[in-house]
Structure 1
Amino acid sequence: MTAATRKAELCRMVMPEHTCPWGLKSLDLLKREGFDVDDHHLKSRTETDAFKARHQVETTPQTFIDGQRVGGYDELREYLGKEVKDKDAVTYTPVIALFGMALAMALAASWAAYGTIATVSAAEWFIAFTMCLLALQKLKDVEGFSTMFLNYDLLAQRWVPYAKVYPFAEGLAGVLMISGALMWVSVPVALFIGGIGAVSVFKAVYIDRRELKCACVGGDSNVPLGFISLTENLMMVGMAVWMMFKPIGIGP
C-alpha cells in the first residue's frame, strides 16, 4: 500500500486557550506525505488526560498509522525517514544566521546610502552590525552568558564582573562604530575586549585543547568554541585597528 492511500489518525490538543504547535506540525507533515488524516481534537484538559491514561503516554500529539501508535512529532519524523534534530548536538547554525543577517544589513545600508554594495562602508558596517547582533544575543540572558564565558575567558576568570560587562561593552563599541562617533571610546573598547577574547579562545582551544561551548551567541547555544569564536574577536581587533589608521576623508 502506498503512502498516498494510507490513513493516519492524529490525536492533538485543540482547545479554546491552546492549540498544540506540535500537533499542527504533525498534521502538516502527514498531509505533505500524502496521508489521509483523521484529525481528532482533544478539546479539554480532562479529555487530554483521559487520552494519555488510556494509551499510557505522557504527551500529545500522538499519531496512529495502520492501527499502530507511532508516537509524537519526533517519532513521526523518524517513522517517515525524516531527520530528527538532536537538541544537544553542537551546531554552527546560530552563528551562520547571525553573520548572514549582518552581511545582508550592511549591503542593504550601503545600497541605500551610496547606490552600490561595493563600498568600504559596507565592510565596516558588516563588522559593526555583527558586533551589535552578537551583543544582543548575549544581553538576552546576561547571567547565562557570563556563566559560560567564565569557562575560558582569562580576564573574567580573574575578575568575575567582567563577564557581565562584556556584552554591554561589545554593544557599545558596535553602535559607536556604526555611527562613526566617539572613536576614542569605541576603538579602545574593541581592541581591549577583542584582544583578550582572542588570546583566551586561542589558549583554551589550540593550547589547552579543551572542548567547550562558545558563549559568543549567548549562554544557551551549542556552538563549539573554536575558529568562529576566534574570528569574532579578531574581527573586533581588526575593525579597531582600521578605524585608528583609516585615512581621513576616505570615500564610501
Structure 2
Amino acid sequence: MADQHTQPAKLYRMMMPDHTCPYGLKSKDLLERQGYEVEDHPLTTRDETDAFKAKHDVETTPQTFIGGERIGGYDDLRVYFGVDKPKDQQSDTSYQPVIAIFAVALLIALGLSWFAFDSILTVQAFQWFVSISMCFLAVQKLQDIESFSTMFLNYDLLAKRWVPYGKVYPFGEAFAGIAMTAGALLWLAAPVAIVIGGIGAVSVIKAVYIDKRELKCACVGGSSNVPLGFVSLTENLMMLGMGLWMLVRLLG
C-alpha cells in the first residue's frame, strides 16, 4: 500500500439537485486526506445512479475505485485505509457515548467551579460533575423512553415488578440532577437519588456479577451498545453517593 497514493482514485457518488449523498462527501474527504487526487464522478439523476449500480453490480453508492480496483463504499474505504478494523473483527461494543458524556460533564463542572471560586479543585466541582452527568444521562434515556424502558426491564429489579418504573426512572434522574446542580429541593432530590441509585446498583450487581448475564446497558438510552456492567454500576453508585452526601449535609 506504500505507493497507492500515486494511483488514481475514482469516486462515483450521488449529487442530485435535491440530494447530495453525505457518504460521498465523506469518501471524497477521506481520499483527499490520504493524499489521493480524486477523479470525481457525480451521479446527477436517478436513472444515471441506477445504471451505474446495475453496471457494477452494487446496491449502494458511493463507490470508490483505486488503480482500477473497486474498494466499495465509505465504510469499506475506512477499512481499506486502516481507519477501522475489517467488519468481521469489529465489535458491537462502544464506550464512546459514555466517555463523551462524562468528559463534557467534567469540563462543565470544572468551568463552573473556576467561574464561581477561581479554582477547579473544589468539592463543588465534583458535586457538579456528578449532578451534570446525571442530567446528561437522563436526556439520553428520554430521547426514546420506550426503547429505554424496554431494555431497562431486562435487569432492573423494581421495573420487573412495576413496569411503569422504567418510564419514571429517567425523570427521577433528571429531577435529582437538576436539583442537585441548583442546590434546590435537596430534601426531595437526595432521597430520589438514593432510591433509584440504590435499586439500580443492586440490580446491576445481581444481573452482571451474580447471574453472569451479558446484557446491553440502558444507561445511555435504549439503542446503546454499551455493555451492562461497570458503567451502569458507576452511574448508580454516583447517584447513591451523591444522594447520601446531600442528605448528610442537610441533616448536619
TM-score tier by shorter-chain length is over 0.9
Shift of 1:246: 2.0
1:246 corresponds to which residue? 249
| 1:2 match | 3
**TM-score normalised by length of structure 1:** 0.94
**Which has the higher mean CA deviation after the structures are superposed, 188-197 or 13-22?**
13-22
The partner residue of 1:222 within 209, 216, 225 is: 225
1:40 corresponds to: 41
* 2:27 partner letter: S
Which residue, 152, 157, 173 being the options, matches 1:154? 157
Secondary structure of the residue that 2:226 maps to in structure 1? coil
Would the aligned equivalents of 2:113 and 2:122 in 1 still touch at CA under 8 Å? yes
1:126 CA displacement: 0.6
What's the Cα RMSD here?
1.7
Answer yes or no: is the 8 Å Cα contact 1:3–1:34 preserved in 2: no
1:135 to 126, 138, 142: 138
1:115-134 aligned within 5 A:
115-134=118-137
Q: Does the 8 A contact of 1:110 with 1:121 survive in 2?
A: yes
Deviations 1:202-247 (CA, angstroms, capped at 9, x unpaired): 0001100001110000000110111111111011111011111127
Please, which runs of 5 or more residues in structure 1 have no aligned partner?
none
- Among 79, 103, 106, the residue aligned to 2:106: 103
* Contact kept in structure 2, 1:8 and 1:37, CA below 8 Å: yes
Aligned residue for 1:49? 50
Distance verdict in 2 for CA 1:121–1:85, change over 3 Å: farther
Provide the C-alpha distance between the structure 1 equivalents of 2:80 and 2:186, rounded to a whole number of angstroms.
57
- Tell me which residue corresponds to 1:235: 238
Task: String of CA shifts for 1:63-87, please: whole Å, max 9, x gaps.
Answer: 1112222111122222233314867
The superposition leaves residues 6-64 of structure 1 with CA deviations (integer Å, 9 ceiling, x where unpaired) of: 10110001112111111111111111222221100001122111111111110000011
Whether 1:28 aligns to 2:36 is: no
Counterpart contact for 1:99–1:130, Cα < 8 Å: yes
Q: TM-score, normalised by structure 2?
A: 0.94
Moved more, 67-76 or 55-64: 67-76
Q: How far apart are 1:159 and its partner, in Å?
A: 0.4
Contact 1:74–1:84 (CA<8 Å) still a contact in 2? no
Percent of paired sites with the same residue: 63
Distance 1:248 1:119 in 2: 22
Letter aligned with residue 93 of structure 2: V
Q: Distance in 1 between matches of 2:218 and 2:59?
A: 34
Work out the number of aligned pairs and report it.
249
Contact 2:187–2:250 (CA under 8 A) maintained in structure 1: no
Specify the alignment match of 2:189 in structure 1: 186
How far apart, in 2, do the equivalents of 1:104 and 1:80 lie? Answer: 33
Please state whether the residue corresponding to 1:246 is helix, strand or coil: helix
Of residues 155, 176, 180, the one that matches 2:179 is 176
